[in-house]
Chains A and B, each alone.
Chain A
Amino acid sequence: EAQVTQNPRYLITVTGKKLTVTCSQNMNHEYMSWYRQDPGLGLRQIYYSMNVEVTDKGDVPEGYKVSRKEKRNFPLILESPSPNQTSLYFCASSLGGLTYEQYFGPGTRLTVT
C-alpha cells in the first residue's frame, strides 16, 4: 500500500531533550516536506526537500533540522525542544515538486513540557 508513515504518533517530552520524528514514504517520491499544524494558524511549512541531499527552509524553520540522505526518509530533528514547539506535525511527499498532489502522513502529536 502506498503510504507515508511517521513515528512516533504521540510524544511527550521535556524542554531541551533532543528528539527525532521519522518520516518514510514507499512511493519513490522526490519531494518531501514537513508541516506543523496549530489551531487558527493552519499548516505552516517547516522544511522541504526537492530530492536527496537537497533541502530548503519553509516558513518556520527555526528550532528544527532535517536531512535527506535517502529518497524514502526525511527525519525531522528538534535539537533542543521548547514548549512553543508543542504542535501536530505532518510529513508529506509528492512525485516531483508542487505540481503534483501531496500525500500526507497520519501526523505526530508532540507535547514539550
Chain B
Amino acid sequence: AQSVAQPEDQVNVAEGNPLTVKCTYSVSGNPYLFWYVQYPNRGLQFLLKYITGDNLVKGSYGFEAEFNKSQTSFHLKKPSALVSDSALYFCAVRAHGSSNTGKLIFGQGTTLQVKP
C-alpha cells in the first residue's frame, strides 16, 4: 500500500539553529512529493514540491527539501529556524498510476516548535 510517514509528532529547535522535519514514503514508481504548512486556525499553504530534476528543492520562507530515492525520503530543512516557523507541517505524495493522477496521500503531520 502507498503511504507517507512522518516519524516525529513534534520537533523542538532553538531559534537560529538548523531544523529538519522528516518524511519517508512508500509508493510504486516515481513519486511527486510535497510539503505543506498549517498555521493555527488556517488552511494549508504550499511550501515546495519535487516532481523531477534536481534532488534539492528550494521553496518558500527559506525552506528546502532533499529527495533521496534510495532512502525513499524527502526531509524538510531550514538552515536557521525562526520562532514564526512554529506550525504544523505535512508531507504528501501523489499516488502512482494513471488511475491515481488526482490522489494525494498525506502524512500525519509534525508540529514544529521553535523556541526563542
B-contacting residues of A (Cβ < 8 Å)?
4, 31, 33, 35, 40-45, 48-50, 56, 58-59, 90, 92, 97-99, 101-107
Contacts and interface: CB of A to CB of B under 8 A. Distances in A.
A92 B44 CA distance: 9
A26 to B, nearest CB: 15
A63 B3 CA distance: 23
Nearest to B45: A104
A43 B101 contact: no
Given A42-B90, A42-B108, A42-B109, A102 B46 contact: yes
Top 6 nearest A-B pairs by Cβ distance?
Answer: A104-B43, A101-B46, A42-B108, A43-B106, A48-B102, A42-B106
Contacts of A40: 108
Q: Interface of chain A, helix or strand or loop or mixed?
A: strand
Contact of B103 (A42, A43, A45): A45
B77 to A, nearest CB: 19
Interface residues on B, range: 20 to 34
Contacts of A31: 102
A43 B92 CA distance: 9
Interface in B86-107: 90, 92, 94, 101-107
B43 A98 contact: no
A110 to B, nearest CB: 15
Contacts of A49: 102
Contacts of B45: 104
Interface in B28-74: 32, 34, 36, 42-46, 49, 51
Nearest to A102: B46
B109 to A, nearest CB: 5
14 contacts: A40-B108, A41-B108, A42-B90, A42-B106, A43-B44, A43-B90, A43-B106, A50-B102, A59-B105, A98-B32, A101-B34, A102-B46, A102-B104, A104-B44
